[in-house]
Structure 1
Amino acid sequence: MSALLEIEGLHSGYGRTEVLRGVDMRVDDGEIVVLLGSNGVGKTTLNNTICGINRAWQGSVRFDGQVLTGRHYRDVVSAGLIQVPEGRRIFPNLSVRENLELGAFRRGKRNRATNLARVLDMFPRLHERSGQAAGTMSGGEQQMLAIGRGLMAEPRLLILDEPSLGLSPLMVEEMFALIQRLRSEGLAILLVEQNVRQSLETGQRGYVLENGAIRHSGTCAELMASDALRRAYLGM
């Protein structure tokens, strides 16, 4: 596989506080890469720096061979690198359909109707509630909406930040089945999760972020078999 996203020596933070300390990682075309780490180690900061929301202090971000370091987040979206943020960040007072259509504001306008039909077919519950205010839906339905909105932008790589957070066990199963389906359709995914076991069973490769740096990496099978990781993250 060819590298779609390449991150080298990435440093970033807030004010004078450094959060990322030389992160190196890659996501290949068409694969699921899992990013693991406890709360507060820099996962969301990494996502936001990749996407141009936070400024990179040092290092580089390349996407499909194009340098994105220092580019505006609108340029990142235009390139096809789309983040579904933690906490969903939907527009609660807008309808489901309006939220989805906003996903194509920067990228995917030409195929908006086709993509909307595809997303509503993929998420029947969103189809049933297309005219409903998004804020009145359940947490699981709102997560579907957030992912559907991301898909409206025709992503080449989708960053999913804690997509299973706060969901019921049944909805978690549905979420991971959806992630597998998207990958089978050729979409590359960076999956940022605290559901360690299910994430490693879903992805191909993984990284473990600790104190702003990558401490472990390998195939998901290798990480699952690591005694240190099993003790730290799986309680085994």
Structure 2
Amino acid sequence: MLEIEGIHAGYGQMSVLRGIDMTLGAGEVVALLGSNGVGKTTLNNVICGFIRPTAGEVRFEGQRITGLPAREIVARGIAQVPEGRRTFPNLTVAENLELGAFRRAGANRRRNFERVCTIFPRLAERLGQIAGTLSGGEQQMLAIGRGIMSEPKLLILDEPSLGLSPILVEEMFALISQINAQGVAVLLVEQNVMQSLKVARRAYVLEQGQLVMEGTAAEMLANPRLRQAYLGL
């Protein structure tokens, strides 16, 4: 579904990504792991059209999307839930969700609204509440629900567990598995290695703008370098 080949990208004269090659199949959950500042969000933004790479190509369902405007990439079926949630704090929960269908799946807005309320019953109880008054976990649910409103074929989640309590982290990863079970492919961009490898089929590890490890979740958990560097084992 998603093919990333030889991507180089950065900001001005600063190089961040250096030769990234990745794939993600339909219906897969693939984890992109790495510490803060290694280029994970930059890669997300290249995929979604916010940053134009200096070299390389991104293909989605066999079609080149490199350089397309972000609105066109959303229309093709890629939705990103950015780090930090970025909900509209002065709008209600319902209004935030409605905005998720602005560019894609508008005809199915009601059906997808009900789908989100089924996945996130806490949001269904707070549809009239101002988004900025929600808890951190509820705002994360709202951000993901807004992404689901566009009927994505690929959902990119950037640090969905950031700032959540341990109990909410467990709940969030269970919800990611539930969303994937409905047929949505997920690129899970995380620092939480153990939880990510519980839900992902495959994983890549990014360090200083380059992929240094890749494999199945089981292979990654057994990799002594990853266990030492990220799990402290």
Q: Same fold (TM over 0.5)?
A: yes
Q: Give CA deviations for 1:156-195 in whole Å, capped at 9, x if unaligned.
A: 0000000000111111111111111111111100000111
Please, which moves more after superposition, 177-186 or 77-86? 177-186
Residue 80 (structure 1) aligned to one of 77, 82, 103: 77
Instruction: Give 1:82 shift.
Output: 0.6
Counterpart of 2:111 in structure 1 is 114
2:46 corresponds to 1:49 = yes
Counterpart of 1:141 in structure 2 is 138
Counterpart of 2:99 in structure 1 is 102
Identity of counterpart residues, as a percentage? 65
Instruction: Give 1:95 shift.
Output: 0.2
Please, which moves more after superposition, 118-127 or 149-158? 118-127
Aligned equivalents of 1:198 and 1:119: distance in 2?
A: 23
Amino acid at match of 1:223: M
Amino acid at match of 2:232: G
* SS in structure 2 at match of 1:131: coil
* SS in structure 1 at match of 2:43: helix
Counterpart of 1:182 in structure 2 is 179
* SS in structure 1 at match of 2:106: coil
Aligned equivalents of 2:140 and 2:105: distance in 1?
A: 21
Counterpart of 1:231 in structure 2 is 228
Aligned equivalents of 2:131 and 2:199: distance in 1?
A: 29
Counterpart of 1:10 in structure 2 is 7
Aligned equivalents of 1:17 and 1:118: distance in 2?
A: 42
Instruction: Give 1:55 shift.
Output: 1.1
2:24 corresponds to 1:27 = yes
Aligned equivalents of 1:65 and 1:206: distance in 2?
A: 22
Instruction: Give 1:202 shift.
Output: 1.1
RMSD: 0.6
* SS in structure 2 at match of 1:10: strand
Counterpart of 1:155 in structure 2 is 152
Residue 204 (structure 2) aligned to one of 183, 203, 207: 207
- Point out where structure 2 has 5 or more consecutive residues left out of the alignment: none
2:29 corresponds to 1:60 = no
Counterpart of 1:92 in structure 2 is 89
2:123 corresponds to 1:126 = yes
* SS in structure 1 at match of 2:57: strand
Provide TM-score, normalisation by structure 2.
0.99
Aligned equivalents of 1:188 and 1:63: distance in 2?
A: 12
Instruction: Give 1:86 shift.
Output: 0.3
Amino acid at match of 1:189: V
Count residues with an aligned counterpart. Answer: 233
